[in-house]
Amino acid sequence: MKKFGLCLFAAVLFLAVVSSDAANAASIKLRTSTNLAATGTVGRGLTRFVELVSEKSGGRIEATANYGAELGNQREQVEMCRSGSLEMVVAAPGTGPGMWVPQLMMFEFPYLFKGNEHYRRVLKGLEAEVSALVQPYGFLAAAGQSQGSRHMLTVKPVEKLADLAGLKMRGPNAIYISMFDYLGAAGTTTDWNEIYTAMQTKVIDGMEASPSMINSMKFQDNAKNLTITDHIIACVYYFFNEKWLNGLPDDLRKIVLDCAAEATVYQAEIDDLDQKQALEAMIKDGVVVHELSDADAWVKACAPMLDEYRAKGPGWSDFIDKMLAIE
């Protein structure tokens, strides 16, 4: 009888282990990635997202995140998501799926938006449109997040438009390069994770981003002049692999999208604060902040760009109209 009891206990224990292993094996994987630092506000928002998904799904979805260049550059990460090696990628629309839908670069256009809150309304208002544009390439978009107004970090002081002439300035896509051309600088594309070395070795004379983004990568180690230009506001979306997201049960799909929305609210809150704190940290690192003496000249120099980009075709013009319609 005793032997029977021990055998029964062993059998029950075995079944429990097998059941547990089966449950774990059945967990749905949500592998996510961003080319931005884990310490930046987008990275911290992504961390919150994966925590929320794991928690609110009751373990039915196992969410993980990678940051920086752990999985390659942004384009490589986007390709991984498209192929199904990732289920979601956090990417700038213009330099992410913008390789197939180039008008998404309009999210990063000089002197087009009225401020950060207006920009966030644009991101939310165009979410369905962005999804429709990227779906043929295997993506769905959610959780548009502002990365704050961008300024220029340079090796030499820039206080007026003439000071920018000839400087080799890093830009992430064609709109930035065009902007620098109009402003008299020499624009060049450099991957985000290569900027630090490019500035250190004098391959470039400067770059531009929000204080939070600059400070998260410590680019101020290699350039000590920040000019407040407010020229562009940049963003990211969560781009999900469309097949994966639409293949989820309805309740899990809702959980994922609700968690993305919650992470977006969190990122907005911490980003507003972090922009101020990052600027203070940069000043403590020896960065000198410059105000433009001719801000109107910068706006005027870039003004012809809008007609130039409208002329690229109806896809561009239609997207610009939809963007400008959001107040």
CA neighbor of 36 nearest in space, from 274, 212, 275: 212
pLDDT value, residue 12: 40
pLDDT value, residue 26: 57
Question: What are the residue ranges in the chain where pLDDT is below 70?
Answer: 1-26
Contact yes or no for 163/156 (Cβ under 8 A): yes
Using CA atoms, how far residue 257 sits from 50, 181, 240, in Å, is 12, 40, 10
The phi-psi region of residue 268 (left if phi > 0; otherwise alpha if psi is between -120 and 50; otherwise beta) is: alpha
Domain spans, the chain: 23-324
Contact yes or no for 242/86 (Cβ under 8 A): no
C-alpha 54/C-alpha 215 separation (Å) is 30
**Which distant-in-sequence residues (6+ apart) come within 8 Å of 152 by Cβ?**
158, 164, 169, 206, 207, 208, 226, 227, 229, 231
Chain segment 220-257, per-residue pLDDT in tens: 999 999 999 999 999 999 999 999 999 999 999 999 99
pTM score? 0.83
Domain 23-324 = CATH 3.40.50.2300 = no
Chain segment 260-294, per-residue pLDDT in tens: 999 999 999 999 999 999 999 999 999 999 999 99
CA neighbor of 48 nearest in space, from 267, 208, 224: 267
pLDDT value, residue 80: 97
C-alpha 39/C-alpha 35 separation (Å) is 12
